[in-house]
Structure 1
Amino acid sequence: MRFIKRIIVTLLVLILILVGVSYLLPGKAEVSRSITIDAPASKIFPYVNSMQETEKWSPWLSRDPETKLAYTGPDAGVGNTLTWSSEHPQVGSGIQEIVESVENQTVKTALDFGDMGTAAASFTLQPEGDQTKVTWGFESDLGMNPMMRWMGLMMDEWVGSDYERGLSNLKTVVEGQG
């Protein structure tokens, strides 16, 4: 009986340590990737300023071609909203709305993943001669949830490669318009 009590006490202490350490971890998860595209910002901007246009280069839609998509609001710019739903665990369901748009410079979106939380994403277009550096960023407030803070440590690894693939797809689409 003493042995079982020691195991239970040890597990409780371990859990308390993990929870305590979680509050020392970052309260935000951030992911950012960039690519240089051989085109002016004016050629790239329409592809990031419209949820409908993201279908052409999204890194997630190829995972589940059966993803259900619905659009509301204007066709581009502030208020343009995408609602998606998929049974695929790496696609999931959610809502993304453009909340800020500065022509040929930046697009900011609000993401709502339902029970999985909310986040913000952004595209920044920075001219570099005849080319444009495109930076795709993501930020999520992890709150005081210990599990979310531990998961936040993995966000760059989980999402970073998708952002790289998406930016590569965007580069191919834009440069192919030639």
Structure 2
Amino acid sequence: MKRLFKGLLYLVVLLAAVFVVGGFLLPASTHVERSISIARPPGEVHALLDSYKRFNEWSPWFELEPSAKYSYSGPESGVGAAMAWEGEKVGKGAQRITESVPQQKVVNALDFDGTQATGTFTLKGEGDGTRVTWALDSEHGNNLVSRWFGLLLDSMVGKDYDKGLAKLKQVAESGDS
């Protein structure tokens, strides 16, 4: 019995050491990025991204829980425009536009119930259309759990970004922008 207990204790210590040492070897930040080409000029695409007024038309998360509660504050568009949400499936969070460069970029400060990140939409003219790149950047610092979680972020968020960009393309190209 002592031998089994001693073996289990060694295993727990080994796993803890792997978690700690491995965690410090992992990157202190995570970057997720997806792109799509939209057959609309950068100014029209920027107008859709620079306001939360039509966000739920292309958001990959809205259809997951249409009954979630949304609130809006600040100006209708541009720096300071903000949106918060709360729901059973989508959780609780908020986002606020912190930088807006017409026809080029919209940057959002994201708060997922206390976890901070940055979302960036970069727009680049491409022929008669626009190449839209949606990126998520998360800083983990010395938080080991967050560093391990960062390994899963691309697989968790990437498919939602692909879906959201496809819906953004559909909304923008419908001519209602």
Q: Do they superpose with TM above 0.5?
A: yes
Residue number in structure 2 paired with 1:123 = 121
Which deviates more from structure 2 when the two are superposed, residues 44-53 or residues 154-163? 44-53
Residues 1:36 and 2:37 aligned together: yes
Residue number in structure 2 paired with 1:99 = 98
Asked if structure 2 preserves the Cα contact closer than 8 Å seen for 1:81 and 1:96, the reply is yes
1:19 deviation in Å?
A: 1.4
Distance (whole Å) between structure 2 residues aligned to residue 174 and residue 18 of structure 1 = 45
Distance (whole Å) between structure 2 residues aligned to residue 21 and residue 143 of structure 1 = 14
Structure 1 outlier segments of 4+, above 2 Å: none
What are the within-5 Å matches in structure 2 for residues 157-176 of structure 1? Answer: 157-176=155-174
Residue number in structure 2 paired with 1:110 = 109
TM-score, normalised by the number of residues in structure 1: 0.95
Asked if structure 2 preserves the Cα contact closer than 8 Å seen for 1:46 and 1:53, the reply is no
1:55 deviation in Å?
A: 1.4
What are the within-5 Å matches in structure 2 for residues 16-165 of structure 1? Answer: 16-88=17-89, 91-115=90-114, 117-165=115-163
The one-letter code of the counterpart of 2:47 is P
1:52 deviation in Å?
A: 1.8
Would you say how many aligned residue pairs link Structure 1 and Structure 2? 175
Q: What CA RMSD, in Å, does the superposition of the two structures yield over aligned residues?
A: 1.0
User: In structure 1, the residue corresponding to 2:63 is in which secondary structure?
Assistant: coil
Distance (whole Å) between structure 2 residues aligned to residue 107 and residue 40 of structure 1 = 15
Gaps in structure 2 of 5+ consecutive residues: none
Distance (whole Å) between structure 2 residues aligned to residue 94 and residue 41 of structure 1 = 28
1:2 deviation in Å?
A: 2.0
Asked if structure 2 preserves the Cα contact closer than 8 Å seen for 1:107 and 1:123, the reply is yes
1:26 deviation in Å?
A: 0.7
Gaps in structure 1 of 5+ consecutive residues: none
1:57 deviation in Å?
A: 0.4
User: In structure 1, the residue corresponding to 2:64 is in which secondary structure?
Assistant: coil
% of aligned pairs identical? Answer: 41
Which deviates more from structure 2 when the two are superposed, residues 10-19 or residues 167-176? 10-19
Distance (whole Å) between structure 2 residues aligned to residue 4 and residue 104 of structure 1 = 64
The one-letter code of the counterpart of 2:97 is I
1:45 deviation in Å?
A: 1.0
Render the CA deviation track for 1:6-65: whole Å, top value 9, x for unaligned. 211222122112211110001101110000001101111111001122111000010001
User: In structure 1, the residue corresponding to 2:166 is in which secondary structure?
Assistant: helix
